[in-house]
Structures are given as structure tokens and as C-alpha cells.
Amino acid sequence: MKDKIINILAALETGNTGKSFPLDYCLPVYHCVSDENLPHIRHIIQYKNTTQFEADLDHISKHFQFVSWSEFRDFVNGNFKPKKKIALLTFDDGFREFYDTVLPVLERKGIYACNFINPAFIDNQELMFRCKTSLIIDGAEKAKTVDPEIYRMLSLENPSKENLKKQVLKITYHKRELLDRLTERLEIDCNAYLKEHTPYLTTDQLKILTQKGYGISSHSWDHPKYGELSLKEQMESTDNTFNYLKENGFMYESFAFPFTDFGVKKDFFDELFKNEDIFCCFGSAGAKLDSIERLFHRIPMEMGESGENILKKETAYFRLKKIINKNKIVRR
């Protein structure tokens, strides 16, 4: 019912997307852009192809003013007066396609982006647990029959490939060891996959991106869901990442939550901002306000539809929530 109402309201949004957008800033977030079938991503992210991505950028450019990191920081501090509402382009996870596919597009269009990375995966040292999930689903789909032991490992009462997919997608960060056992059972060699496909950026590529003026910043050490961690675990992952960024000469002024900021309490932000180097952090709740002053919410752009439609829906949803005073997240 909620989706139907949002779709109706979004359809009524016509004209200038920027003028109707409810905030002074728009923060789109992507993970990957590719024209290829990527088994380690395709079952967990609806990534866009280059044509779709460029269409998004063209629409945003028409209605917003893309800014650099320094301009965004100055804007927040009241020291930058843009001609239009601003847009800061962001990417998460440090996938190789940012260098191979996205960078040429950004350079051609003169658009800045910041990539929030997980140091555990840089140089293809390790595969993120959700990427293992995608490989498992991909392997099961391609198999003529699934080993009954795999269904048993997942405690499936009604064994089927569809139920296997649903169950594997539920496996959390703290239970990721099960994914390693499943890949082994399916004869999926993650180390070989890393060597052959090199899904992540390398240190050299990160340094080239930095030299070209693009941002490389923090997305936690190895991509846990922060709402499922203790405060100690949250800070360890965050601090380790900032140490890595400093050591390598990358940007250590910002932090973007992996997955979502849902369930993260005020005590984390109290600890985070004790680090005076940190200017702000980013969630991914869409067009939303937050009781944490320096937490800005980004808009997920990989939802299976155009960027224009996504922004119209975000505008409609914000207005709908505003009526019942629910468009601001309050941390306790």
C-alpha cells in the first residue's frame, strides 16, 4: 500500500527535480557500474550499465550542481554558495569497475566522486561475505542438482533453489563462516576467483585516483552491519580503517556506513566525533534528516529504475513522512 501511494505521488512530480527536491543537497550512492555479468555482485546489487549510469548523471547535472569534497565541506560550513542545489556523487565498496568503467565517464563529464572503501578487500586480499553469498547463489543456479548436504547445512525444511537463495541471503556477518563452508561444498574457490577476476581496486589504483583528485575514504574495515555490532566492535572497525587511510595518504575526514545506519545508537556517534579529524559521516536512508548534526543520508541509486524516478519517489516519500512528522531519524 505504501509503495502504491509513493508511486502515485511520484507520478505527480513534474518539472524541475532539483527545485522540488526537499533538501538543499542530493547524495546519490552507487556500488558498481558495468555492462558485464558479475557473479560476485549480480545477486545482491542491481548495478546499472554505463548507459543507465550516464542517464542518471545527465539528469542530476541538469537539476543539481555536482560538487567536489572541498565544496561540499564548505557548503555545510556555510562558505560555499552554489548556483543550484548541490549533488555529491559517492560510491561504496571499492570495486574495480570504479577505475575501469566509472572513472572515464567522470573525467569526460568533469564530475567528482568519493569512493568509500573496505581496506580488508583492497588488492583482492579477501572477498566480502555478501559477495560470497552472490557466488553461492550463482553456483547453485548453474548446477543441475544441488548437493542435499547444502540444504542440510542451511536447515531447509523445503529444499529448493529458491529457498536456498532466500536462506543464503539471510546469513549475517557474524555467521559468515557458514558461507566459507558452503563455497567449499559447492567447489567455489574464492581465492582463485579473486586472482582471476580481481573484483576490487588495488592500492596503486587508489593512489592514482587520489592524484587525479577523487576521494578515497572510510566504509569500515570489512563491511559489517553496524547495527549488529557492539560499540567496541563498531569502533575497532572504524578506527582500523582510519589508521589505514592515514597511513596511505587517503581522505580520513568522513565515514560511510556499510549496509545501513539503521539501529546505530547515539553512543557510536559520540565516540566517532571524538576524532577531531572527522568532518561528517554518511548513512543511506534516502532523503532523510537526522538528529545527528553531521550525519547526512544518501540515496541508493541501484533500485532497478532510473535515477529520475528514484529522486521523484524520494521527494514524494519525504513529503508523505513530513505530514506525520516522521522524516527525521532520532538517535538515542
Mean local confidence (pLDDT), 217-235: 98
Same domain for 187 and 302, yes or no, is no
Contacts of 181 (CB under 8 A, 6+ apart): 153
Same domain for 138 and 224, yes or no, is no
| Segment holding 133, helix H or strand E | helix 129-142
DSSP letter string, 142-190: HSSS--HHHHHHTT-SS--HHHHHHHHHT--GGGTHHHHHHHHHTT--H
Among 194, 215, 235, where does a domain finish? Answer: 194
Mean local confidence (pLDDT), 149-160: 95
The interaxial angle of helices 177-185 and 129-142, nearest 10 deg, is 30
15 has a pLDDT exceeding 80: no
Same domain for 205 and 101, yes or no, is yes
Contacts of 184 (CB under 8 A, 6+ apart): none
Which residue, among 199, 223, 251, has the nearest Cα to 118 in the 3D structure? Answer: 223
CA angle in degrees (0–180, nearest 5) for 42-43-44: 95
pTM for this one? 0.96
Contacts of 122 (CB under 8 A, 6+ apart): 94, 200, 201, 202, 203, 206
Same domain for 140 and 47, yes or no, is no
pLDDT at 5: 66
Mean local confidence (pLDDT), 218-227: 98
Which tens digits make up the pLDDT trace of 281-303?
999 999 999 999 999 999 999 99
Q: Please report, in angstroms and rounded to a whole number, the separation of the first and last CA atoms in the chain.
A: 30
Helix (H, G, I), strand (E, B) or coil at 129: helix
DSSP β-bridge partners for residue 114: 90, 215
pLDDT at 181: 97
Write down the mean pLDDT value for the chain: 96
Which tens digits make up the pLDDT trace of 48-92?
999 999 999 999 999 999 999 999 999 999 999 999 999 999 999
16 has a pLDDT exceeding 90: no
pLDDT at 320: 87
Which residue, among 85, 61, 60, 81, has the nearest Cα to 71 in the 3D structure? Answer: 81
Same domain for 144 and 207, yes or no, is no
Same domain for 294 and 186, yes or no, is no
pLDDT at 254: 98
Among 154, 171, 194, where does a domain finish? Answer: 194
Same domain for 18 and 95, yes or no, is yes
DSSP letter string, 24-72: SEE-EEES-B-SS--TTTTTT---B-HHHHHHHHHHHHHHSEE--HHHH
pLDDT at 11: 67
Same domain for 211 and 63, yes or no, is yes
96 has a pLDDT exceeding 80: yes
Euclidean distance between CA atoms 205 and 211, whole angstroms: 10
Which tens digits make up the pLDDT trace of 304-318?
999 999 999 999 999
pLDDT at 8: 61
Mean local confidence (pLDDT), 179-199: 97
3 has a pLDDT exceeding 80: no
Give the number of domains in the chain.
Answer: 2
Euclidean distance between CA atoms 48 and 112, whole angstroms: 19
Mean local confidence (pLDDT), 192-214: 98
Q: Are 66 and 80 spatial neighbours (Cβ–Cβ below 8 Å)?
A: no
pLDDT at 239: 98
pLDDT at 183: 97
189 has a pLDDT exceeding 80: yes
Same domain for 118 and 135, yes or no, is no
Domain, as residue range, for 57: 2-126+199-329
Same domain for 159 and 19, yes or no, is no
CB 70: neighbour CB atoms within 10 A? 12
CATH number of the domain residue 304 falls in:
3.20.20.370
Same domain for 318 and 243, yes or no, is yes
Same domain for 215 and 90, yes or no, is yes
Among 150, 170, 194, where does a domain finish? Answer: 194
Is the model more confident about 323 or about 177? 177
